[in-house]
A and B are shown apart, each in its own frame.
Chain A
Amino acid sequence: MTKDSTKTPAATTRRGALKTLAAGAGAASLPLWARYAQAQTSEPIRIGFQVHRTGIGAAYGRWYDRTTMAAAQLINESGGINGRMVEIVAEDDGTDPKRGAEVVEKFASQHNCDVGFGTLFSHVVIGSAPRAGELKLPYFVVSEGHHVASGMLNRYTLQPGITDVKSQVQAMAPFVSQNLGKKVTMIFPDFAFGHDHRDYFTAAIEAQGGEVLEHIAIPPTETTFTKYFPKIPRDTEVIYHVMVGPAVLTFVKELGEFFGPSRPEMFGFIDSLEAVDIASPGLEFLEGSYFWEGNPRYAQADQSEYDKLYRAAVGVDANGASVSDPKDISTYAHMFGCWETLHVIKAGMEASGYAGPGDRAKLIEAVESMTDMPHSIAHPQGAKLFNGKTHQVFGHQYISKVEGGKLVLQHTTSIEDTLYPDEVDYTTQPL
């Protein structure tokens, strides 16, 4: 466990408040409840941060950690939440659902956290959310999984800082069909993440008048891919790939060897290459191909003022790498979710007048009542629309092209492109 409480010169500290009280002539006449209220509100707001420090999600966890600490520092420098400092209480979930659930219990019962927050991998979220619901601990996830909006989880689990895979995938179909081709072959890992892409994209491209010629599911234990490529139909216009994990470099290299100089158009999800340098040897084949990005990794020509501030606060350079180590590539397409979620927690606590764990239900209701989230320093990735019934946020998606070993933004989807009918109404569940 690590703690980070960033001080702000502007805020009232407990010691300062006590000195003032002691010195003030009228202090003795204050009723007892007022003194208690002062002591209570001087306590920091404790945010349990469930982080992938170890396990398969460690690269994401490292950047989620940096982003979270930077956001907490900014919030504290701006006066905290309701005048109280934010303290991040981080615990490693080992990218494991069992440990994730234990960590949530630890936040609620041992660390006395006000809320839980943070984790990415879907199985950890799904394994942890039931415990958060039972413990009535508001649990803000940054997972991009569809599990929140699908209705699988509970009223105490929300995803207000990052869009979900269903909305991301369906928003890609118009661009792919209009610019790259209508006959698609999908290559995806044969587990839940890949199946989500298979199901949502297939439906979305068909709605655009296109079709998926072949679904090629790659077993998760596979280390070489050449034998799968002959299954790609000859008349394929676009290859849609979402390979993830360490084998992605082999995948790209072998795909390049298979097609040589004449390849169909290629569209992929950057998830495969988060924390990986696009200019890495072996990835040359990706030149000219397109990627979904949750947030453009490379600072674009028309970079917003908010992205500039956010990038500087987290310590990311214009190429999406750490300012202290150009080889340490960030998970830029996802990690903004931590920043934005912390700002949503702040906004929710301020709207509900949150004073302590007794107000957790009010916090949930306050977040549920949110709708428009304008593009701002609190939402540097772009404007968003929150759906209080499904506990899921919707936002712009970015499509970039690899040009000269860098990702250059080509298209920004509208929020409307990402919307789909509600599948659940969590507000009907008791608090």
Chain B
Amino acid sequence: MSATQKMIALHGGLLGLLFVLQFLLPAYHHGNLARVMVLASYAIGYNIMFGYTGLLSLGHALFFAAGMYGMGLAVNLGGVAPAPALIAGVLAGVVVSAALGLLALRTAGVAFMIVTLMFAQAGYLAVLYFGAYTRGDEGFVIQQAQRIMWGIDLSDPANRYFAAYALFAICLLLSLWVVQRPFGRVLVAIRENEERARMLGYDVFRHKLGAVVLSGTISAAAGAAYGLLFGYVGASFASVQYSIFPLLWVLLGGAGTVLGPFIGTLFMFYLIDLSSGLTSAYMLIAGVALVVLTLFAPQGLAGELRSRIWRWLP
């Protein structure tokens, strides 16, 4: 079996498994997996920038929230139907990520991290400041009647699962496709040695900007979907915590691997869910698990798989 065939079998197998699980999982885990798939889409977006381009952002909550509020405000204030509202959310992500990319990419390294963090914090405070529209920290509900898209009620568990599945499948396949294309290869080249990529004649700035916009747009799509599928839009999703989460998920799962974001998100979700059943200090358990993984599997779970067994893993 060639590497391409293996790659198709693995990723197709995951999508097939997730499809079948819809019919097998008990209600609680069924709902959890829908949530994980949307959050994993967010992590996939983050991975494009961090894992493949080497740009460490500490402000991705800005994109997630741009999508969530782009969608939510369109529905709540504009009375827009869910489908165009989703598009509004994605477009908000395009605009915000392009603007941030144009400004933040003038910096690099630690300065880039700080600039992205500050922009995200400004976004969070903007949500609070415009509380008359956003309801600030309280947030607002997307009512069930506002969540019926093309006659499909997205608050229904099966419909929600399939909607999350569709989003995840699109993001996963898009990510897989991008990293196989010359554009994706150049991103990896930039990550490995930016000066050499530039010397070879690649327009590094344009490629990095493309990565930021693609990453921000996928993150915004995830944010918009999260608000629509779970019926709530709130400022906590714009807080710094939600900038750190995708970083952790990607690091855990394996930065620079297509499957890593999903594995990391799933792992972290259940780590917190199960450990919270044991102790109120569950974040300590999560922290220790992270330290152990960082020590013994520094490339993340999928990264270790790639370096030890499946060298063809994209």
Contacts and interface: CB of A to CB of B under 8 A. Distances in A.
Contacts of A106: 28, 273
A220 B234 contact: no
Given A1-B276, A101-B230, A192 B138 contact: yes
Given A101-B230, A127-B234, A122 B277 contact: no
Most buried by A among B128, B138, B139, B231: B138
A221 interface: yes
B194 interface: no
A190 B128 contact: yes
Interface stretch (A10-18, A128-136, A305-313): A128-136
Interface string B223-267: 000000011101111000000000000000000000000000000
A231 B128 CA distance: 22
Interface stretch (B6-14, B94-102, B129-137, B185-193): B129-137
Interface residues of B, number: 35
A74 B232 CA distance: 36
Interface stretch (A39-47, A89-97, A207-215, A259-267): A89-97
Interface in A191-213: 191-193, 195
Interface stretch (A145-153, A289-297, A371-379): A145-153
Contact of B28 (A1, A105, A219): A105
B234 A91 contact: no
B144 A123 contact: no
A226 interface: no
A237 B137 CA distance: 31
B280 A92 contact: yes
Contact of B155 (A101, A134, A145, A220): A134
B139 A109 contact: no
A219 B125 contact: yes
Given A97-B232, A191-B138, A192-B131, 19 more contacts: A54-B280, A98-B237, A102-B35, A105-B32, A108-B27, A109-B28, A126-B140, A126-B232, A127-B232, A130-B142, A131-B231, A134-B157, A147-B138, A153-B141, A191-B137, A192-B135, A192-B137, A219-B128, A220-B137
Interface of A: 1, 53-54, 91-92, 96-98, 101-102, 105-106, 108-110, 122-123, 126-127, 129-131, 133-134, 145, 147, 152-154, 190-193, 195, 219-221
Across the A-B interface, the 10 shortest Cβ-Cβ residue pairs:
A130-B231, A109-B28, A192-B138, A109-B27, A110-B28, A192-B136, A53-B280, A127-B232, A1-B277, A191-B136
